[in-house]
Each structure stands twice: as C-alpha cells, then as structure tokens.
Amino acid sequence: MSEEVPFELGYRMPAEWEEHKGTWISWPKNPLTFPEDILPSAEIAYAQMIKALCDNEIVHVLVDNGEYEKRVIKILAESGVIADEERIQFHEIPTGDVWFRDYGPIFVTRAGADGGDVAFTNWGFNAWGNKYDDLLMDAKIPEQLPLGNMRRFKAPMVLEGGSIDVNGLGTCLTTEQCLLNKNRNPGLGRDGIEKSLGEYLGATNVIWLKEGIAGDDTDGHVDDLARFVNPNTVLCAVDENESDENYGALISNLRILEDATDQDGKRLKIKKLPMPGKVDYHGQRLPASYTNFYIANNAVLVPIFKDKNDGKALKIIEEHFPDRKVVGIDSSALVAGFGAIHCVTQQEPFPNKKV
C-alpha cells in the first residue's frame, strides 16, 4: 500500500459518466437486510441491473461460494442473460452485505503518455458509524479483490462512497450530517476532511450540504440528495409535499446548491428532481430517492418505486442523458434494505483521458 498522496502524483476521481471498464456488485443474501419476503424481488432487481450493464462493460459479481454462483446464473438465465465470462465475472469473496459503494475501493485515474493508469483508494469503513457490528467484516473487501498490480493508496479517514459525488474536475458534494458526524472521524474537523478529499480524490472544492432524508441509516448520504449529471449540472431532490418530513431539509440543500460554485468559481446549474411519496416497509420509513441512480457506459439505471412520480423522474433524467438509455428498475425491495441502485454498485474506470 503506497504512502504517497494520489493527487500529487496526478490521480483524480473521475466522474461517474466517464468510461467504465467494469461495475462491481455483491449478490444479495443477508437475511436481516433482505428477509424471505423480499429477497426474490431484490434478486430480480439485481438481474435487471446486470442485464442493463453487461453488454457494454464487465460486471464483477461477488458471491460467497460456488453454490451462490450457480443460483445467480440460474436467475440471470430466467431474465434472459447468459453469464459468459467475457461479460460477467464471478468472484468467490464472502461479504457481510451488498453495499459495495460504501465499503469497496474508490478508483482514481491519471493521464500519461503511455495511456495513463488506474489506481484505487482504500478508505476506512466502520459500518456507518459502528451501527452494524456484523458488517464490519466488509472493511476488508478492497484488499481481497483480484485487481492484479493496481496501485493502492490507504486513505487516513473513514469514508463511504455514497457520501460523496464528484464532477471529475475537482468539485465534490457531501453532507455535514455524514462526514462531520462524530461516529466517523471524531478527530477530524471540516478542514482535515477536505484535506483528505483533496489529496486522495482530487476534490479541491467541497460543497457541504446539510441533512439527509428520513429513514436513511447512513447519516445523510449525498447520493440520496444531489448528483452531478455533467461537470456543471446537479440534479437536486426536492419534495413537493410541504407537510412531508423531508421537505425542509431538501429545500435547505437546494438553497445551498443554488449559491454554490464549481472549482473555477462558476455557478452550478441546479435542476430539481422530485421525490417519490412516502415508501415504508412494515411501517418503517425507507430512504427512497430517485437520485440514487447509477450512470453506466450506455445506460442510466434509475430506482423506481411504483409511485406516481416515477415517470416524471425518469423523464427529467432522460433529458440529461440523451446518449444513454434510461432504465427504470423497481427498487422497492432494495430500499427495504435501506439502499438502492447507486448504493450497491461501484464503477471501475478506464485510464484517464485528458479533459
């Protein structure tokens, strides 16, 4: 593990829409996250995600063992997907749960005369502020992945991938509720966190939103609130229902973004994205949000919830990705586990192209 600083070596975290070599996911199986009544629906959602991804990038699927691999292959076949090794690669690496975005590596790239290269940053993972002791094992996943001789950098703080979003040019979105929470990095203040984001991801301009949405056990991950869709445009979640408990927090975040600037001091373009109505499971409010989409090489995978705003959200996202197919995936089962499509995916980019 290198002790050098990636940014000083020319590395940066690329935007999600930059070309992927592959997508990494972990197959669902944790009975506490996905009980028997929702596991089959969660697996169908995974099959739909893989089907949308595998024609244009490799899909890496972590499974506990060979029996799980056989199960996945069968489910994929039922969805019309043949699991050939060129498109879908299985890795027998046991995991505690599916939230690869948060415990997996965050890849960085740099340009070079030889075509550039890709490295990864390995951040601390403490199961969202030590909420789930049985999931602390997933902190070891980055070092278990078959990434060959890829250069690795150990970052000096706890950070989940869902707590940040970047435009690839130096600007990063995050929230105070998460990154300044005492259950993550009690010895680091805002300045120390910004220093690490700059040194390890190239995030030289950090925009701090406030609070996350109701039902979110991650303490306000930004991927449920606001997402870059190009270098200067952000889709921001808003709730049209003034009586909803999310209304005030989302308006506050919207106002912050409207006043924010990018890494060059230019105002960002802020577009509103509606929220679904209240989604719950056995009476518990769930963190359902359309901003939890995943930008792939040829598609954008968008969580939908059998809600009246599904179509409206899909249309808005389509307007910002005219060169990609926008695929709505019923994520009612996934969000019952307190996450959705962005939470369970992590992109591995190709080497950096100069911008």
178 part of the active site: no
| Choice among 54, 172, 178, 343 that is catalytic | 343
Q: Which residues contact 216 (CB under 8 A, 6 or more apart)?
A: 224, 287, 338
Per the structure block, which two tokens stand in for 227? 């997402």
Give the Cα separation of 256 and 333 in Å (integer): 32
Give the Cα separation of 99 and 126 in Å (integer): 13
Distances (CA, A) of 128 to 85, 182, 349: 34, 11, 26
Give the Cα separation of 63 and 74 in Å (integer): 14
Strand order across the beta sheet in which 171-175 lies: 165-166, 171-175, 205-209
- The radius of gyration of the chain's CA atoms, rounded to the nearest angstrom, is 19
Concatenated DSSP letters of 291-331: T--EE-SSEEEEEE-S-TTHHHHHHHHHHH-TTSEEEEEE-
Strand order across the beta sheet in which 117-124 lies: 106-110, 117-124, 151-158
Pure H helices in 260-301: none
Active site residues: 343
